[in-house]
Structure 1
Amino acid sequence: MSNENIFNEIDEELRSDRMRALWRRFAPFVIGGAIAIVALVAVNEGWSWYTNSQSAAASEQLYAALDAAESDNLADAQAQLDALAANGSGGYPVLAEFRKAALLAEQGDSAGAVAAYDALANNQSNQRLRELALLLAGNILVDAGSLSDVEARVATLATDDSQMRRVARELLGLAQYKAGDFAAAEASFEAVINDPLAQSGIRNRMAYYLAQMLAEGSVTAEDPAEAAAQSIDAIVQGDAPADVAVEPAAE
């Protein structure tokens, strides 16, 4: 055997020995990393299954509470909502809190319902849910509170950059009308009518309010009441809002 061949074999043996040494050195880390990856995948899949099963259980619990409330089994509905709010997963505890507040309102406990909605608004990190809680509290307070109570909840939502401005302005207008501030109520209703994103249903409702105020002399006939006249035309043509009862014409 030539010297060159001997040296090549020695080099190959040395390289092989170095590879085995490196493998013995790093193998535990490689194997451990692979095991960790498998474990993470298993934990992730297990957590997904768990959260899905928990969400399914929470969903069933919420529907059971809603069914109990619809059946006037209020004590059972309250108990199920309390349990769901305390132990539910995902967004179901928040939904339970909203339904609990609505249940209080349905039972005539306006103060309790407003307090529940206020608590939701104060504790919510989700802006849309916070705004919804404020609007629902303001809606109750149109009848059960004062103008300042309504303003405290919805005034910040009645700005031009708010997505909730149309509903907020309607609630403000109703509270202003109830408080006898007819000029402010007229401005609030007209702001909704003039909103380019307002849908026909809410526009017709605002126009009906203005027509009612015009008919009773709460506002003058100098300007609005192009909107009011349009509302009267819609009522005559049978296009009045669904929640408006139109008196039949006397024969």
Structure 2
Amino acid sequence: MAEESDSIFREVDEDVRRDQMLALWRRHGVSFVSATVVVLLAAIGWQIWTDMRESSLNDLSDRYAAAQDAAAGETPEAAASLYAQLAKDLDGGYGLLAGLRQGATLLEDGDAAAAAAAYDRVVAKAGDSRVKAFAGYLAASAKVKAGDADGAIAQLQGLALPSEPLYYSATELLAAIYTAQGDIEEARSRFDALVEDPAAPAALVARARDMLALFDAESPGADADNSVGETESGSAAQ
């Protein structure tokens, strides 16, 4: 009975530690999300400008603005349908923006799986590598919310490469997913890579160090090391 009770408490303790790790990541995650939004806007802005310069369809902006106004007065489900249709009708940057807005609206409405599918369509349609990477990152995030961690991991593994535009953010999100799954070894390897990269953003490195410190504090050897230290201190005092 005592062994069974100890096992139950260990499982609960592991869940609590995992929740603490995720809470830490969520608390500091806004900063890198805002940074990737800037990347996205710059990339799509350039693509829209190129489309408008090279295309005779100068009503794209008006059509997109009209759809936005119409969507503002609709339910999230109806707004998502409007954006879905716009994404099909428009090529170039405005079509990509419509697809992203569709995904965001679906996510706001609580349909994470449909949001992920919308973002994946943007990935397939985008020509700019930065837009493709950001849409893929959003798709992976939505898949996590939808409970498809394996799908998110598969997508992020292609984004968490040094050659990819969102390498650092994708690596951090991948590490967070592994943390949630309890795969600390995989999570640690990703956080270590971020800490050891001299070009990694300082705020991201700080978060990675915090997570690694939590791993170290909660590792099986940590208590043993502390016990040895306390024993040695006690012996010295005697």
How far apart are residue 112 of structure 1 and its match? Answer: 1.0
Q: For residues 94-153 of structure 1, what are the alpha-carbon distances to aligned partners after superposition, in whole Å with 9 as ceiling and x for unaligned? A: 101111011111111111112222222233333222211211111123343354322210
- Give the TM-score taking structure 2 as reference length: 0.60
SS at match of 2:57: helix
Runs (4 or more) in structure 1 with deviation over 4 Å come to 47-50, 218-221
1:77 maps to 2:87: no
State the number of aligned residues: 170
Q: Among 89, 102, 105, which residue is 1:103 paired with?
A: 105
State which structure, 1 or 2, has the greater radius of gyration over its C-alpha atoms: 1
Q: How does 1:196-215 map to 2 (within 5 A)?
A: 196-215=198-217
The AA in structure 2 aligned to 1:140 is A
Q: How does 1:78-157 map to 2 (within 5 A)?
A: 78-88=80-90, 90-157=92-159
Q: How does 1:1-251 map to 2 (within 5 A)?
A: 51-52=57-58, 54-61=59-66, 63-64=68-69, 68=72, 73-75=75-77, 77-88=79-90, 90-215=92-217, 217-218=218-219
- In structure 2, distance between residues paired with 1:165 and 1:156: 9
Distance 1:91 1:220, change over 3 A: farther
- In structure 2, distance between residues paired with 1:203 and 1:175: 17
Q: Which of 1 and 2 has higher RCO (CA within 8 Å, sep 6+)? A: 2
How far apart are residue 166 of structure 1 and its match? Answer: 0.6
Distance 1:202 1:74, change over 3 A: same
How far apart are residue 163 of structure 1 and its match? Answer: 2.6
Q: Greater share of helix residues, 1 or 2? A: 2
The AA in structure 2 aligned to 1:198 is A
- Give the TM-score taking structure 1 as reference length: 0.58
The residue aligned with 1:248 is: none
- In structure 1, distance between residues paired with 2:55 and 2:176: 49
Q: Percent of counterpart pairs with the same letter?
A: 30
Superposition RMSD on alpha carbons, in Å? Answer: 2.9
Q: What stretches of structure 1 of length at least 5 have no aligned partner?
A: 1-46, 222-251
The AA in structure 2 aligned to 1:181 is D
